[in-house]
Chain A
Amino acid sequence: MAPPTHDPANRTRGAGMTFGILTVLSPVVATVAGLLLPDRIGDAVTALSNGQDVSADLQWLGLVLLAAVAGNALGTFATGAFVATRTARVRADVARSVILSPNPFGAAGLVTRILVDARQPAAILPIVTSMTLAAVSVIGGLVLLALIDWTLLVGVVVGLLIILVLLRRLVGDLSPLIQRYRRAQGEVGQRLLDAQAGAVTIRAAGTWRREVARVLIPMHQVRAAGDELWSAQRRFAWKTAVFVPAMLFVTIGVGGWALSTGRIDTGGFAAAVGYALVILGGLDGIEAAAGLGAVRAGQARIAEVSGSKPGTAPRPATPPALLRAPAGGGAPMDVRLSDVTVIADDGRCVLDRVNLSIPAGAFVAITGAAGSGRTTLARVIAGMTTPTHGEVLIGGHPIADLASDGIRPTAYGQARPALLGGTIAGLIGLAVDSGPETVREAARLAHLVDVIDALPHGFDTLIAEVELSGGELQRLAIAQALSRSASVLVLDDVTASLDPATEREVLGALLAARANRTLVVVTNRSAVLDRADAVFTLAAGAVAELTGSAAAS
């Protein structure tokens, strides 16, 4: 562990700042050297044509070249380093927003945002730097060219204007095309994930060839968008391919005429060609503007998942202690819902003015037909769904006040565990500051110890190495939920895949565990309903029936 005064985040930010400054300054040195270069070459050629000694001119030339190399090398390193450090930060920020705030996107699309789109914001500084310095090169080149002879300016300026107009059009063209291309691609990825979930069905039905075709359906759109991207680039490329050499041609022509009339000497002519090239090189730098299209598209996709501009929002420092919640049981708390109403996005009323009260340490069951709102009610109690109207009080406090950064006094367990943590022990004690005893205790309560001990490496077995049945997964989900210190534990249909014998044993364990937490179980299984202190039966979004000691209206 690092000592507390040494904040690695601050250090990388400091290093990022240095890299950022160098990203801007080093190319400045290289640009100035680039502007001096034709002048030095011109002097050397003049000296040559006059038959003089060129060694002094060559020393000067060597110095300028050295400055150019040093500036470029340092600039390359600083730019790469700046993009690397900042991209890592933006990626962390995007990951933070997609995990902490709700969004309607599939996993595949979100991973693309972290992997691909998060690279874009960091690209702005190098792009803007090279665009600015390109402009400096172009303007500086024009001035120095005019100093040699003003007639040389004519051809160059005309060509320049045409290219600038073309560039502006290109940047406008690409951004929506890139977005369309990426969206179609994301669809292919999502379809592939779907097929992964249906692997057994595909294998049993022998339909894998059909699946390949189905996954590839959006490729038509990918191809169409790809072709359009190419023609946009082609329109730009062939025009620049003519105009750029044409500028050089005009310079040589005009310069040759000036040379023949004696207005400039051979050295001046060589310098003029050199400056025309500096100006053209500057235009290449302006071409970096094409990258702005990709930057805009990437930023737009990141903005879809995070309200603020990535990388600019102040990031609250999370003390390492908060990353892992305390383990084991806490103290049970009571739950009170008053006038809770949930209206779905499509306007359906899922829960209609539900009032209920669950004493601390009680074991209550929620039951009801499919679509009666039982899962929504469970999610509201767990703080996963915010009601449209009404209030949820946990231990007398509004649940919204208790939740900070996603850490709630409640936990919500589903039929499938979060398959994270690397090993079985890591999975059970996921994000909990737990020792092996806590993990083993949770596994014992969920009746998993025998299953786990039979695995090749027991609790240290890698999750990826084992194939688990539905029932074993459900018990893992229960163990995962039991290992945390939530005062209110909501379990949604976690015993559906258990055989009666196992269910009975798990149920006994849950009853024993409620000394430390209030238990709310969504189920239709009579074995569970029979043992509950109270049963809320939901129908059409309202509590239709109540048995037992809890209060509802």
Chain B
Amino acid sequence: MTDWMARDPAAWGRGGRHRRQPPATHPGLRLLADCRPRPRQLLKLAFWTVIEAAPTIMSGLAVAHAVDGFRTDRAGTAIIWLAALALAICCGGLATRGLYAALAPAVEETRDHLMGALVRGSVATLAATGRAGSAPLTQLVDQVDQVRNLLSAIARNVRTTVAPMLAAMVGLFVLSPLLGMVVAVPLLAAGLLYGVLLRPMFSAERAAAVADEDLGASATAVLDSRAAVGGLGAQLWAVDQVSSAANVTGRADLRVARLHAWRHAVIALGGYAPLIVVLLVAGPGLDSGKVSLGDVTGAMTYILTALLPALSASITGAGGWFIQLLVLLDRLSTIAQVRDVQQVVVPTGPDQSSVISARGASFTYRGGARGVLDNLHLSVGPGELVALVGPSGAGKTTLAHLIAGLLTPTQGAIGVGRRLRPVLLPQSPYVFCGSVRDNLTYLSPGDDAAGSFGSDMDDELWRAIDAVGLRAAAERWGGLDGTVADSEANRPTPSEAQRLVLARGWLSGAPVVVLDEAWSLLDAADRRGIEAWLRDDGRTLVVISHHLDVPERADLVVYFDGRSVHSGTHLELSTSCGSYAELFSFAGVGV
């Protein structure tokens, strides 16, 4: 893993190493500049590009001298020029081979680098905020690949446009300065026209890119909710959503096509006009002896073999590609700018003799009018079971996040005892593509958890699997080394995912485990069994659960009635708190 992203983004562009980077108006270019290829690679590219232009420079000169030679019975001179051309052609072939060899790693490394930066940026955003950023992640991969394709297309295009054009002009001026001049003027005019077309082309291409992105966002939203959409009978509506977005991309692409047609005016001016001009000045030139018939044929060769192909290649390709590349990179650069990921610090509680303690802890969300927690006092001993009870949205998850250190109290203090590490098992179980073992040991201490354990550890993993009732599923996935979640078919069901995460919590060895609805899909018997197993070795459990059997067994109940927070034992709250008692009178028995 490279750590270039860890540098302060604000520092980019400063200091000697970055002096030649483009101005901040193009953050996309800055992103690319940071993936800069090694100087050796650039040198190689430059060297082979020059060599590759040799046949182009030679072509017109060889034709001119061959024509004059053959016409005036000096076949020897003609043959020498043709031999030089043959040599240049062989060098050109070698150069192409070398160019591709130098280009491949440069482009591929840039792609890898870009992908690394973007994945890093988006995962860091996830880690910093606990939710996805605004950019649709599914498109990221495709956009990185578009950058790769554009880079290689542009690189290959430069060798078929800029290099031959320059080579042809050099050759032409060597052949005849007069002919060089009359070709250069319309060519420059064509360049100006191209410049005028750039701005509308840029805006059209950008509109097309935005339309593509909107289509991606729409398709991602619909396909992510495929199951729910099917259940609701909303498939046709969903199809219509995506189709309309597709139609918008069609209209945007149409506008781009219209502008592309104009580029042929540039070819006419830069490539066809010189043909006529050369033939026009040739008559007087021949008469005055300033040019030979060979020179005219040579000039034609330059225009036809080098200028025209180069112009059409640059017009139909490179310009648009460069614009697309800029648009893409500008969008991607916002993702790559990693926010500062503040590592979650284990919060130290005010009372170090308690496992969890709170003194006067209050919490208000930024911009929130009403405090979620107000002046909370808590003291939890080792091995205790704490139940957080209350209606949705009352602040149970907030308290869980405060204990785990994801949030810091706005007033007062809350935290765990010294050297204790809480583990949070959140509402949405996280199961990732990887081995069953990696998924189980995700929260276990030690970096190389997978490799260093022997069969003892395996036994422990299987014990955990059995304890959460996951053996059948684990065997279906292919045991500890089997891969899970690598395809839709292999994805755990929601309840299997919850079981897996519960086993992960036990294997973490953490003395404090916070369960935020982590077993909502499990049966009462399973929940009770897993709860007993989790508490077996004196672990403190904080449980958010809507199942009412938990507070009955809890040592401490924290009850959120939607306005204020009460704490006490189940018995205490049942007698002192009316709305708490009411919960149980309705349900009768816990399930």
Contacts and interface: CB of A to CB of B under 8 A. Distances in A.
Partners in one complex: yes
A407 interface: yes
Contacts of A190: 433
A242 B427 contact: no
B268 A420 contact: no
Given A104-B489, A213-B1, 19 more contacts: A12-B250, A61-B276, A61-B279, A88-B247, A88-B250, A95-B239, A111-B223, A114-B215, A114-B219, A192-B137, A194-B430, A199-B130, A222-B115, A242-B93, A284-B309, A420-B241, A477-B228, A481-B231, A503-B546
Contacts of B63: 252, 273
Interface string A101-135: 00011111011101110000000000000000000
B78 A256 contact: yes
B260 interface: yes
Interface string B181-222: 000000000000000000000000000000010011001111
B48 to A, nearest CB: 11
B443 interface: yes
B393 A112 contact: no
Contacts of A57: 279
A411 B232 contact: yes
Top 8 closest pairs, chain A to chain B, by CB: A80-B257, A471-B392, A198-B430, A88-B250, A412-B231, A431-B237, A84-B253, A242-B93
B364 to A, nearest CB: 15
B96 A237 contact: yes
B206 to A, nearest CB: 16
Interface string B425-445: 111101111100000001100
25 contacts: A45-B293, A72-B264, A80-B261, A81-B254, A85-B250, A91-B243, A95-B219, A111-B223, A187-B486, A188-B141, A194-B432, A199-B132, A200-B406, A205-B442, A212-B119, A234-B100, A234-B101, A237-B97, A241-B92, A259-B71, A384-B230, A419-B224, A431-B232, A500-B548, A500-B583
A212 B265 CA distance: 49
A281 B107 CA distance: 28
B469 to A, nearest CB: 7
A79 B140 contact: no
B246 interface: yes
A298 B304 CA distance: 36
B564 interface: no
A430 B237 contact: yes
Contacts of B256: 80, 84
Interface stretch (B10-18, B81-89, B326-334, B528-536): B81-89
A98 to B, nearest CB: 7
Interface in A189-225: 189-209, 211-216, 219, 222-223
Interface string A397-421: 0000000011110111111111110
Nearest to B243: A92
Interface stretch (A149-157, A334-342, A491-499, A532-540): A491-499
Given A114-B242, A204-B406, A486 B272 contact: no
A54 interface: yes
Contacts of A202: 123, 126-127, 430
Contacts of A414: 227-228, 231
Nearest to A471: B392
Contact of B261 (A77, A111, A192): A77
Interface string B264-301: 11011000100110011011001000000100110011
Contact of A73 (B101, B234, B240, B262): B262
A163 interface: no
B344 A203 contact: yes
Contacts of B478: none
B139 A111 contact: yes
A76 B476 CA distance: 55
A538 B97 CA distance: 69
A180 interface: no
A107 B433 contact: no
A493 B521 contact: yes
Contact of A227 (B104, B132, B546): B104
A87 B250 contact: yes
A353 interface: no
B572 interface: no
Contacts of A309: none
A99 B138 contact: no
B229 interface: yes
Contacts of A406: 230, 233, 235-236
A451 B392 CA distance: 10
A527 interface: yes
A58 B316 CA distance: 27
B233 A96 contact: no
B517 interface: yes
B237 A324 contact: yes
B238 interface: yes
Contact of A323 (B67, B237, B253, B434): B237
A96 B243 CA distance: 8
A199 B90 CA distance: 57
Given A199-B126, A241-B93, A61 B275 contact: yes
A253 B428 contact: no
Given A61-B276, A471-B392, A76 B67 contact: no
Contacts of B455: none
A196 B134 CA distance: 12
A249 B86 contact: yes
Contacts of A242: 89-90, 92-93, 96
A388 B145 CA distance: 42
B357 to A, nearest CB: 20
Contacts of A205: 423, 442-443
Interface in A355-394: 369-371, 382, 384
A456 B241 CA distance: 26
B39 interface: no
A5 interface: no
B524 interface: yes
A312 interface: no
A106 B226 contact: no
B131 interface: yes
A165 B293 CA distance: 38
Contacts of B424: 200-201, 204
Contacts of B546: 471, 496-500, 503
Interface stretch (A62-70, A136-144, A169-177, A511-519): A62-70
Given A88-B249, A370-B469, A77 B443 contact: no
B521 A266 contact: no
B43 interface: no
A412 to B, nearest CB: 3
B428 A252 contact: no
Contacts of A346: 476
Contacts of B234: 418, 420, 430-431
B130 A54 contact: no
Contact of B62 (A68, A252, A269): A252
A199 B131 contact: yes
Contacts of A444: none
B587 interface: yes
Contacts of B432: 191, 194-195, 198, 214
Nearest to B132: A196
Contacts of B431: 194, 198
A167 interface: no
Nearest to B303: A41
B82 A252 contact: yes
A84 B229 contact: no
A260 B70 contact: yes
A115 B215 contact: yes
B523 interface: yes
A202 B128 CA distance: 9
B208 to A, nearest CB: 9
Contact of A199 (B59, B127, B258): B127
A521 interface: no
Contact of B391 (A208, A241, A418, A501): A501
Nearest to B591: A526
Contact of B257 (A48, A76, A502): A76
